């Protein structure tokens, strides 16, 4: 293959990784927003779904193009909600 084709394939691979990251990150933010609303309402919540998506993001981060994300604890959510109020 020519260098040009190799570069195109490499760029396509990076683009695919970034698109996957963007979708997962959006899903993570949605889950965080849901948990924050539950916490504000004084209802029980779990961060399991947030952290499942976070783990998937962090696996993608092994490719160096994708930033890592921290796992979220219930205490982190409570502290955030307290700061909002």
Q: What is the pLDDT of residues 62-77, one digit of tens each?
A: 877 788 899 999 999 9
Q: What is the pTM of this model?
A: 0.82
Share of the chain above pLDDT 70, in %: 99
* Cα–Cα distance measured from residue 83 to residue 21, given in angstroms and rounded to the nearest whole number: 28
Q: Which two tokens stand for residue 58?
A: 């962090």
Domain that holds residue 75: 3-84
Q: Name which of 10-14, 27-31, 52-56 the model is least confident about.
A: 10-14
Residue 63 corresponds to which tokens in the numbers above? Answer: 């490719």
As for how many domains the chain has, the answer is 1
Q: Which pLDDT score is estimated for 85?
A: 87
Q: Where are the alpha helices (DSSP H) in 41-71?
A: 48-60
- Whole-number pLDDT of residue 1: 59
């Amino acid at each position: 293959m020519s260098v040009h084709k190799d570069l195109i394939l490499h760029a396509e691979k990076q683009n695919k990784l970034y698109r996957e990251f963007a979708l997962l990150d959006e899903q993570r933010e949605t889950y965080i927003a849901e948990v924050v609303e539950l916490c504000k309402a004084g209802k029980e919540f779990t961060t399991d779904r947030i952290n499942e998506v976070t783990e998937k993001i962090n696996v993608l981060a092994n490719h160096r193009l994708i930033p890592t994300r921290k796992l979220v604890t219930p205490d982190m959510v409570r502290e955030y909600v307290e700061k909002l109020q």
